[in-house]
Amino acid sequence: MSLDLQQSVAQLQQLFDASKKDEVTKLVTQLKLAQSGLYFAPPDANPQDLLAARTIIEIGAFNALRQSNLASYNQYNAALQPFYVNLANTLPPSANRPIIIGLQLLTMLSEGKYSQFHMALEGLDVSELGDVFVRWPVDLERWMMEGAYNKIYRARDRVPREEYAVLLERLMGTIREQIALTIETSYPSLPLQNAAQLLFFRSGETAQLVEFAKERGWDLEPSTQTFTFPKSPIPDIALAAVAAHDSSRITMDLAGGKGIKRGGPMQSMVKPALELAQQLEAIV
């Protein structure tokens, strides 16, 4: 590795550690242009130069997430894979690799790509599965399958790294969509305060809740601060089952991330969930 490249990588790390996001973006771009031939991970390149290129791309991926730039993050993440896979026997393992794996898994969860999530897990070594950065999204996925959304909500206060917070908020958006579908098929209306608790909007996030509701076509009555819901897109036969409280039981399809399937009655799901949300609000 040339002295200039070594100094540039050290400077980039210092800027990243100091959370100077714009300066990191600028320097990463400059280094990518100056060392463009390295980013295709040519196997005959100097290993020290390849190590430098891998570090630059890793920092670029982390910084993109810190700036909530998911498109840029995906590009960096794709560029990293040749270094991790094709050069696995050429370069020493990266200390950042477990972090990158955890972020990949969390990205899949946030996008509802559950099949890809499990396929990715199956391809990991036992040692990788035991890493804290990998276990974290695995725990989130298990809580999703259990419907333990309160645990995911609490996880927002203890993310292992700043980059995870951006993707966790995206996952919370997916969860809110699932809960909102349940609400809409269970009640004709719901007070704003209860909706905030049930959808895990914190106090002070009323504006975000109103915007979320607007996007779903909910109407807010200003005088009563109550949401009314549009006619559900769920087939009439499913709505009739809910209205009649018969033995046909319906729940959200957590495995697919959207839609419904037979399971537990909507009314009995929402009431305990709302009570839990109210208790959680008191704790938080």
For residue range 135-192, list pLDDT tens digits in order: 999 999 999 999 899 999 999 889 999 999 999 999 999 899 989 998 998 889 999 9
pLDDT, position 223:
94
Q: Do the beta carbons of residue 264 and residue 273 sit within 8 Å? A: no
pLDDT, position 279:
53
- Residues 210-233: what's their mean pLDDT? 89
Q: What is the pLDDT of residues 107-145, one digit of tens each?
A: 999 998 999 999 999 999 888 999 999 999 999 999 999
pLDDT, position 1:
58
- Is a pLDDT exceeding 70 seen at residue 92? yes
Domains, the chain, with CATH or none: 1-188 (1.25.40.990), 189-236 (no CATH)
Q: Strand 219-221 relative to strand 189-191: parallel, antiparallel, unpaired?
A: unpaired
* Tokens coding 142: 């298990």
Distances 58 to 93, 204, 248 between C-alpha atoms, Å: 13, 35, 50
- Residues 34-56: what's their mean pLDDT? 82
pLDDT, position 32:
85
Output the CA angle 133-137-142, nearest 5 degrees. 140
Q: Do the beta carbons of residue 184 and residue 269 sit within 8 Å? A: no
pLDDT, position 273:
55
- Is a pLDDT exceeding 70 seen at residue 204? yes
- Is a pLDDT exceeding 80 seen at residue 255? no
